[in-house]
Amino acid sequence: MIFTNAPSDLDIVSDAIDEVNKLKGSDCRWDDLPTFDVDKDKTNFRQYEEACDRVKHFYKEQHEHLLQTAEAIRRDAKPEWMQVAGLVHDLGKLLHVFGSEGQWDVVGDTFVVGCKFSEKIIYHETFEGNPDSHDPVYSTEYGVYEPHCGLDNVMLSWGHDEYLYHVLKNQSSLPEDALYMIRYHSFYPWHRENAYQHLTNANDQRALEAVRAFNPYDLYSKSDEPADPEKLKPYYKNLIAKFFPEVIEW
């Protein structure tokens, strides 16, 4: 839909990241480094390479990812606000069109900055070259934060999730759980790996279930039948009108 003019490399990287997260969620834990050599993991690596080919091949269909996510949520009779969250959750990728510095600041798993890089972050070892890893404050467990200060008070790595959250937080009537789904859907170290428990507060803990409930629709709806935008237009136009003002500032 709206991404038809976006550069294809972004879509490919973004989809490959999703594919890796699917593989991570299946039969191999990413932090099981000592067992990286076993056949199972080699299989996963081959699957990853094949996945990259697949996402290239299905590039056109991937553009319907947002509709597919929303439709999967709708099929499960989840509330309208969650369908809408599915419909818009990746619109922050428009950042790439607006002048991002590269793929790194648009897509990819997000993580907390200002404190020790969690070992649950994908390719954690690559932070070795990041000066923050050796900073006397930023390399500590709490860094610049207070215990259980709440995710709203911590700074995450920049990406399409965080951007869209800031666009929508005051420009929609979406409930808090929908905003959590949008803001933290790439925050795998938290919602899948249970990292950063020492920074979250009770409200984050509550909303974690919402973020987790959203994740399968994001990851697994891409293999569904391609959605028909024309047929679905009236339904989603109506939903959009319910939750958003006529004009949204980006």
Residues belonging to the binding site for Fe cation are 65, 89-90, 160, 185, 218
The closest alpha carbon to 152, from 199, 106, 192, 218, belongs to 199
Write out the DSSP string of 205-231.
HHHHHHHHHHHHHHHHGGGSPPP-HHH
The closest alpha carbon to 227, from 79, 60, 80, belongs to 60
Strand, helix or coil at 10? helix
Site for Fe ion in 83-102 (CB under 5 A): 90
Letter for the amino acid at 45?
F
CB nearer to Fe ion: give 85 or 115. Answer: 85
Q: How many residues bind Fe ion (CB under 5 A)?
A: 2
Does the protein bind Fe ion through residue 19 (CB under 5 A)? no
CB nearer to Fe ion: give 161 or 204. Answer: 161
Query: Roughly what angle, to the nearest 10 degrees, separates helices 176-184 and 160-168?
Result: 150
Shortest Å distance, C-beta 2 to Fe ion: 13
Which structure tokens are listed for 199? 């920074």
CB nearer to Fe ion: give 3 or 145. Answer: 3
Site for Fe ion in 24-53 (CB under 5 A): none
Q: How far is CA 178 from CA 18, 89, 165, 185, 195, in A?
A: 20, 9, 10, 10, 21
Does the protein bind Fe ion through residue 11 (CB under 5 A)? no
Does the protein bind Fe ion through residue 218 (CB under 5 A)? yes
Q: How far, in Å, CA of 107 to CA of 184, rounded?
A: 12
Shortest Å distance, C-beta 233 to Fe ion: 20
**Which residues, including other chains, have CB under 8 Å from residue 105's CB and lie 6 or more apart?**
95, 158, 159
CB nearer to Fe ion: give 90 or 177. Answer: 90
With CB under 5 A as the contact rule, which of the stretches 23-31, 35-43, 78-86, 218-226 interacts with Fe ion? 218-226
CB nearer to Fe ion: give 175 or 216. Answer: 216
Shortest Å distance, C-beta 171 to Fe ion: 19
Shortest Å distance, C-beta 149 to Fe ion: 25
Binding site membership: which residues? 65, 89-90, 160, 185, 218
Q: Which residues bind Fe ion (CB under 5 A)?
A: 90, 218
